[in-house]
Amino acid sequence: MVVEVEAIGAYLDGLLPDRDAVLTRLEAEAREENIPIVGPRVGGILQILASLVGARRVLELGTAVGYSAIWLARGMVEGGKLTTVEARETMAERARRNVAEADLSDVIEVRLGQALALLPEMDGAFDLIFNDIDKESYPQVIPWAKKLLRPGGLLVTDNVLWSGRVADPADSDPWTEAIRTYNRTLADDEDMETVILPVRDGVSISVKRS
Ligand SMILES: C[S@@+](CC[C@H](N)C(=O)[O-])C[C@H]1O[C@@H](n2cnc3c(N)ncnc32)[C@H](O)[C@@H]1O
């Protein structure tokens, strides 16, 4: 099952602005090595959201090569800081090199570790948290996001439609189930106002009410 009709995806790609050399290279590497980055359509959404909330402090869970972190950082106010967490050392190292090439080493700090282990060490308040870690951990991110976000802050999450698998009743894979739990929990949470955009693999935006 696909979330987007292929022709519409291609049409939207035709409207994308050109990316700079770093993002273009990371998109090519992700294609070649099957690295699951958000891609330019979701990257643009992240940049606009960071800009709209005047993001000064951003937390990203799931760095990979630093692609989404670079988009987010470019939407933040000058002097802002983004912390991004990556469990794999080789990826964290690669992300640090890419961030340096994007001239964002002063803005982006790549921390090596498991997100659920590092979250208790984080000091809020964040203006925006981007969640893109292993899907089984998604439900456990919600209480931390609520604790660490400022009122009006955003929890943005990738892959919430999981190639449409969340809507397939026959799919009981643990990652699919965890994403369903995540989406339902946020939908029922009175402290959070959530919308799901069916862009690419599904992106949710949850605003912390108070
Ligand atoms: C989907 S990729 C992130 C893509 C990145 N956000 C982007 O779009 O450019 C997920 C990354 O998070 C890391 N990861 C997965 N589960 C994690 C966890 N529980 N804690 C920290 N990192 C994790 C993986 O090693 C992988 O590099």
Q: Give per-residue pLDDT as tens, 58-78.
A: 999 999 999 999 999 999 999
Amino acid letter, 207: V
Report residues whose beta carbon is within 6 angstroms of any ligand 1 atom. 36-38, 62, 64, 67-68, 85-88, 91, 114-116, 132-134, 137
Q: Among residues of the chain, what percentage have pLDDT more than 70?
A: 98
Q: What is the mean pLDDT of residues 21-28?
A: 98
Q: Which atom of ligand 1 is nearest to the CA of 68?
A: 9
Q: Residue 122: pLDDT band by 50, 70, 90 thresholds?
A: very high
pLDDT tens for 76-97 read 999 999 999 999 999 999 999 9
| Residue spans per domain, the chain | 6-208
State the number of CA atoms in the 13 A half-sphere of 2 facing the CB.
7
Question: What are the Cα distances from residue 6, in Å, to 2, 29, 41?
Answer: 8, 22, 14
Please state whether beta strands 149-158 and 192-197 pair in parallel, antiparallel, or not at all (unpaired): unpaired
Are 193 and 174 a contacting pair, CB within 8 Å? no
The CATH fold assigned to 6-208 is Rossmann fold (3.40.50)
Whether this model's pTM surpasses 0.95: yes
Question: What are the Cα distances from residue 132, in Å, to 86, 106, 136, 194?
Answer: 10, 23, 11, 17
